[in-house]
Amino acid sequence: MIKPRSKSEVLSKTTKGYLEEWTKQQVYGVRKQIKSKYLDKGNAVEDAAIDYAAENLGWLFATKNEEYFEDEYFCGTPDLILEDKIIDIKSSWDCFTFPLFEEEIPNKDYYHQLQVYMHLTGKHKAELVYVLMNTPEELTYEDSIDYSEVDSKYRIKRYEIEYNEEDIYILQQVVLESREYIKEIIK
């Protein structure tokens, strides 16, 4: 759950920095390009990671969701929408960034992302699933590591998440504060 700093300080410096950058993109009509090997790999192996997880976790006939959802506060496109839950797939860069031994979600932003997806779709369960896929050769200067023969129990890590209405309320308040901050900075 997000805990605001105080009544007068809901937004962190990091959030304010992001909002300032987003506002520049709106003012100048230019989108800042974010490049990283981690994002590149995630995009390159996304479909294969979804297929690998679906096959190994028994999600029969699961296909990547393309539907975009939006309400007055949030927007997003979940990776998979099953009958009873939302699933988002994350591809680790290598076995050293794969959360094999982590009991809690390594990046809390993903928890909030899934709360929003559940809110937008009306689902009350979600899974965050990390998958360890081979890195395409064109994306790495390192020696290629082949995980194909590694048992799937060492290549898939699941975190179950329940819908939390209180967290959604807090996130909505952050959105409202963010809108107010943007109004302040573009005077």
Give residue limits of the domains in the chain. 35-174
Over range 67-77, report the average pLDDT.
Answer: 97
Question: By C-alpha distance, which of 170, 78, 159, 59 is closest to 122?
Answer: 78
**What pLDDT, on the 0 to 100 scale, is given for residue 181?**
95
* pLDDT of 62 over the 50 cut: yes
What is the rounded distance in angstroms from the CA atom of residue 170 to the CA atom of residue 1? 8
Contact 104, 146 (CB under 8 A): no
**What pLDDT, on the 0 to 100 scale, is given for residue 145?**
85
Residues 25, 29, 35, 39, CA torsion sign: positive
* pLDDT of 2 over the 50 cut: no
Name 87's Cβ contacts closer than 8 Å, sequence gap at least 6: 53, 59, 62, 78, 79, 80, 81, 126, 127, 128, 129
Most confident of 16-20, 29-33, 128-132, 182-186: 128-132
What is the rounded distance in angstroms from the CA atom of residue 137 to the CA atom of residue 114? 31
For residue range 37-46, what is the model confidence (pLDDT) as tens digits? 888 899 899 9
For residue range 11-20, what is the model confidence (pLDDT) as tens digits? 899 999 999 9
**What pLDDT, on the 0 to 100 scale, is given for residue 138?**
84
Q: What is the CATH architecture of 35-174? A: Alpha-Beta Complex (3.90)
